[in-house]
């Protein structure tokens, strides 16, 4: 089986405890890869590496240089989009047509923020005192923890990682333990672009010894999370002591409203496609139905 290591401080390493877990191929329900399991010590090492990089070499990197790094990451993703798509399909069961397409256009996020990196502006504000000047300037936050769910990993990483790097932050990405290999493959591509050590760290592990340690760490300045509401509640609790900034993009399904004048067969086809398209791995899957009373019984009969 394939074996995947953690990516911390510019190096691929096994867990400090040598703990591993298996990732299952959903098409066979059999293990296809082993994964290094991050524990307390590994998480601390990742945060300290990101912290040192933020106050070290990365803080001296010019905005245009950050843009160059982002552009290089985009190039790597575009050149390897088919491979990244295949890995995501194997680990999550999402259809290859979609994973390959997503991996290809995700490169555009990195290109966009590459162009934005040297265009961050402040403003000067008028004030009614002649001897005072008031202006705003934008500064990086610091160490960012980006927690990614098991579906659409490349996309949900790009929307967190690209703007964070463009602004000059450092990042620890926690991949879902359910299907972590797409992001651990991404680590191999990121390693090729020559970023200073510790700027990007990619780990995975379980709640108490990985997620909790990361979200309660005093040197994590912001947490960007996509996932379910139960986990979000724990993240808010964990971050409260340190007053870390928290962004939560929580789980939910888009509703489908079917009105009395709808054509039942068309509506049923649309509902079925929205729920089961992409193997059900879509946050706009439309699994909540609101059906007007006059056609309710007829619709249920069609389903049955």
Q: Cβ neighbours of residue 230 under 8 Å, at least 6 residues apart?
A: none
- Is 161:202 a contact under the CB 8 Å cutoff? no
Q: Which one, of 140, 239, 246, 247, lies nearest residue 199 by Cα?
A: 140
How many of the other CB atoms lie within 10 Å of CB of 273? 11
- Phi–psi pair at 160, nearest 5 degrees: -100, -45
Instruction: Judge whether residue 179 has pLDDT over 90.
Output: yes
Q: Tell me the helix, strand and coil percentages in the chain, rounded to 5.
A: 50, 20, 30
What residues are labeled active site? Answer: 249, 283
Question: Tokens for 28?
Answer: 């066979």
Residue 288 — pLDDT band, cuts 50, 70, 90?
low
Closest CA to 34 of 26, 46, 24: 24
Checking DSSP bridges between strand 6-8 and strand 2-4, what pairing results, if any?
unpaired
Strands, DSSP E only, in the chain? 2-4, 6-8, 11-13, 20-25, 30-36, 123-125, 134-136, 143-147, 170-175, 200-204, 222-227, 245-250, 255-258, 288-291
Q: Is the dihedral of CA 78, 189, 170, 38 positive or negative?
A: positive
List, as one string, the DSSP characters of 72-86.
HHHHHHHHTHHHHHH
Residue 240 three-state SS: helix
Task: Tell me the pLDDT band of 255, cut-offs 50, 70 and 90.
Answer: confident
Confidence of residue 163 (pLDDT cuts 50, 70, 90): very high
Among the listed residues 17, 73, 31, the one whose alpha carbon sits nearest the alpha carbon of residue 181? 31
The predicted structure's pLDDT at residue 1: 87
Q: What is the pTM of this model?
A: 0.87
User: 256: buried, middle or exposed (CB in 10 Å: 19+, 13-18, 0-12)?
Assistant: middle
**Measured between alpha carbons, how far is 295 from 251 in angstroms, rounded to an integer?**
29
**pLDDT(277) > 90:** no
Q: What is the pLDDT of residue 206?
A: 97
Q: Measured between alpha carbons, how far is 99 from 227 in angstroms, rounded to an integer?
A: 19
Q: Of 74, 57, 172, which is closest to residue 116 (Cα–Cα)?
A: 74
At 22-32, the pLDDT tens digits run 999 998 999 99
Residues 6+ apart with CB under 8 A from 276: none
Mean pLDDT, the chain, rounded, equals 91
DSSP 171-212: EEEEE-SSS-HHHHHHHHHHGGGTPPTTSEEEEE--IIIIIH
User: What domains lie within the chain, and their CATH numbers?
Assistant: 2-250 (3.40.605.10), 255-303 (no CATH)
Q: 68: which residues sit within 8 A by CB, 6+ positions away? A: 114
Residue closest to 225 by CA, chosen among 204, 198, 249, 192: 249
pLDDT in tens, 60-114: 999 999 999 999 999 999 999 999 999 999 999 888 888 888 888 899 999 999 9
pLDDT score, position 253: 61
Non-local (6+) Cβ contacts of 123 within 8 A are: 135, 136
């Amino acid at each position: 089986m394939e074996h995947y290591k953690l990516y911390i401080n510019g190096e691929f390493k096994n867990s400090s405890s040598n703990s591993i877990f298996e990732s299952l191929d959903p098409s066979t329900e059999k293990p296809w890869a082993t994964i290094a399991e991050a524990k307390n010590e590994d998480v601390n090492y990742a945060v300290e590496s990101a912290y040192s990089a933020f106050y070290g070499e990365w803080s001296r990197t010019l905005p245009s240089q950050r843009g160059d790094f982002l552009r290089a990451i985009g190039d790597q993703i575009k050149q390897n989009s088919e491979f990244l798509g295949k890995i995501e399909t194997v680990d999550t069961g999402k259809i290859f047509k979609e994973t390959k397409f997503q991996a290809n256009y995700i490169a555009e996020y990195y290109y966009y923020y590459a162009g934005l990196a040297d265009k961050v502006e402040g403003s000067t504000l008028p004030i009614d005192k002649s001897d005072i000047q008031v202006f705003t300037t934008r500064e990086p936050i610091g160490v960012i923890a980006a927690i990614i769910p098991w579906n659409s990993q490349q996309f949900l990483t790009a929307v967190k990682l690209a703007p964070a790097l463009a602004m000059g932050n450092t990042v620890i990405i926690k991949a879902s333990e359910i299907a972590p290999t797409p992001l651990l493959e991404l680590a191999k591509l990121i390693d090729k672009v020559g970023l200073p050590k510790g700027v990007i760290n990619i780990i995975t592990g379980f709640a108490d010894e990985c997620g909790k340690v990361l979200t309660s760490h005093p040197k994590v300045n912001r947490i960007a999370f996509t996932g379910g509401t139960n986990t979000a509640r724990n993240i808010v609790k964990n971050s409260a002591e340190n007053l870390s900034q928290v962004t939560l993009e929580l789980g939910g399904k888009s509703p489908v409203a079917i009105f009395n004048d709808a054509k039942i067969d068309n509506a049923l086809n649309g509902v079925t496609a929205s729920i089961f398209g992409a193997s059900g791995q879509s946050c706009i899957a439309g699994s909540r139905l609101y059906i007007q009373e006059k056609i309710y019984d007829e619709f249920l009969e069609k389903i049955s």
